[in-house]
A and B are shown apart, each in its own frame.
Chain A
Amino acid sequence: MNNFQYVRAEGLDGAARFVAGHVGAKFIGGGTNLVDLMKYNVEKPSSLVDLNRLSMRDVSELPDGGLRIGALVTNSDVAYHPTVSTRYPLLSRAILAGASAQLRNKATTGGNLLQRTRCVYFYDTATPCNKREPGTGCPAKEGINRTLAILGTSVSCIATHPSDMCVALGALGAVVQVTGPGGSRSIPFEQFHRLPGDHPEIDTTLAADEIITSVDLPRTGFAGHSAYIKVRDRQSYAFALVSVAAGLEVADGVIAKAGVALGGVAHKPWRNPQLEQELLVGRPANRDTYHEFQRALLAGAQGFGENDFKLKLAPVTVVRALEQAAHEGEQA
């Protein structure tokens, strides 16, 4: 790990100004990913601005009936929060499917959104990687890519976003609140993470000097019909090969509202609200509907050898998650 200056932030404005004014400075929340990457010399910040003394630890009701989760609320505290587990069980399940208890106790809501990829080439500083060092190349396309992306890839990068929580936040249609020297803004979840394109070194649309202050959930959270299915190499404490967060509102056997996002398949949680409207809403909640939807959602998927199995795994996982969500709460 490189030497760096440590600063305890006393206010949002001062913290953002410090990072804006110091090249290579970064914010730190829980640090479970950042400190790990610093140990591998993948991240080499000149300064770390510790946000933990700022007041972003509350879960609070919003006037519109939604729920605001402060950026510093730990993953554990979100997952076990009574309002979250009751009204947004999809979010609780996704969080508890990820990492270990120790990591969830330390990792924050804001930090979870900013996790870097787990691609082995990104982690290994002895190899090229366009995400770590732009312009050096991507060995993953012809190399070790079993865990990597099949959708939204570019010539430069086939990395996946590793979060479980973000897959649920995508399906729920969360909004990310951020603030920085240029003011505050709201970022719809689908616009928060980006596809790699020609700039795989940039994971999100958040500026380097902007701070996530909260993640806001909409009023309804698919409390009656939701499922998080995570397919992985071992039953616990492993990243997703493919995961699906599915939420439905069903009335008289017909889908009234839907949110579906995939993890483990792209540089961001993979979701298409337009297709949900066109191919799920107003249709009967049955397997034919789900199949037609998954074919459209996953159109254009491309494997790179080791990860070809995801081309078969992703479609069946989408269908299974939708079936499980639709039947949730029914008597066996």
Chain B
Amino acid sequence: MTTGQQALEETVDLAVPTHMTVSGRSHTLRVEPWTSLLDLLREGLQLTGSKKGCDHGQCGACTVLVNGVRVNSCLCLAVMHDGDAITTIEGLGSEGNLSTMQQSFVDHDGYQCGYCTPGQICSAVGMLNEGHARTEADIREQLSGNVCRCGAYPNIVAAVKHVMGMGQTEGGR
């Protein structure tokens, strides 16, 4: 049986000082190493825009931008992002002041239930930063890491094409 004193001795503080900027705000934190970036954002910083779908890097609902590059925040250990600049959906725009990509998703009905949408939009912004998409087939391939169980894909593609200046602004309706 573990005594109170033993339990106290076994409780080692493994938290690590971690500094990061999240959507423009600077945070100095002590983070337990096993905390994912997604959990830190949602539970620690109360930024619940990034969603936990599968928590295994398969659905893309947790996609955020790290120094402008899209990654699955569920597979990131927060302590590994000391010094990084994170942008979540909250940092892309706000109500009444949406970013171009957010507005295009609204205009093209690029969602139904909306659960995957923050990840879809962060992923689409990341894809444009990367600059490797030229065609609709490229868009579909390069956004394949974001799953939409409602099947809003045609309108998501239309929203992204609009931002890329590829026409078809009426969406898939």
Contacts and interface: CB of A to CB of B under 8 A. Distances in A.
Interface string A267-292: 00000000000000000000000000
B71 A105 contact: yes
A5 B33 CA distance: 7
A313 interface: no
B91 interface: no
Given A36-B57, A102-B63, A6 B145 contact: no
B145 to A, nearest CB: 3
Contacts of B71: 102, 105-106
Nearest to A74: B69
B25 interface: no
Given A1-B34, A39-B55, A6 B126 contact: no
A28 B80 contact: yes
B75 interface: yes
Contact of B36 (A2, A35, A76, A106): A35
B144 A100 contact: yes
B56 A36 contact: yes
A309 interface: no
Contact of B33 (A48, A52, A76, A105): A48
A6 B14 contact: yes
Contacts of A308: none
A5 B80 contact: no
Which one of B36, B79, B145 has the greatest number of beta carbons of chain A within 10 Å? B145
A118 to B, nearest CB: 12
A35 B69 contact: no
A8 B146 CA distance: 31
B77 interface: yes
Contact of A236 (B34, B126, B127, B144): B144
A50 B18 CA distance: 14
B72 A106 contact: yes
Nearest to A97: B141
Contacts of A3: 14, 32-34
Given A2-B34, A80-B132, A32 B145 contact: no
B144 A32 contact: no
A106 B37 CA distance: 13
Interface string A224-246: 00000000000011000000000
A80 B127 CA distance: 13
Contacts of A237: 144-145
B72 A103 contact: yes
A103 B140 CA distance: 16
A101 interface: yes
Interface in A56-101: 76, 80, 99-101
Interface residues of B, number: 33
A105 B132 CA distance: 13
Contact of B77 (A31, A100, A102, A236): A31
Interface string B36-61: 10000000000000000001110010
B70 interface: yes
Contacts of A48: 33, 77
A3 B14 CA distance: 8
A101 B123 contact: yes
B116 to A, nearest CB: 13
Nearest to B34: A1
A102 B33 contact: no
Interface in B85-103: none
A106 B14 contact: no
A46 B14 CA distance: 12
A212 to B, nearest CB: 18
Contacts of B132: 80
23 contacts: A1-B34, A4-B33, A5-B33, A6-B14, A6-B77, A6-B79, A31-B77, A31-B80, A32-B72, A32-B75, A39-B55, A76-B130, A100-B144, A101-B142, A101-B143, A101-B144, A101-B145, A102-B123, A102-B145, A103-B57, A103-B75, A105-B70, A236-B141
Interface of B: 14, 16, 32-34, 36, 55-57, 60, 63, 69-72, 75-77, 79-80, 82, 123, 126-127, 130, 132, 140-146
Given A2-B34, A31-B76, A101-B126, 11 more contacts: A3-B14, A6-B77, A31-B80, A35-B77, A36-B57, A48-B33, A101-B142, A102-B70, A102-B126, A103-B145, A106-B76
Task: List 8 tightest A-B contacts by C-beta distance, closest first.
Answer: A100-B145, A6-B33, A236-B144, A237-B144, A102-B145, A106-B71, A1-B34, A102-B72
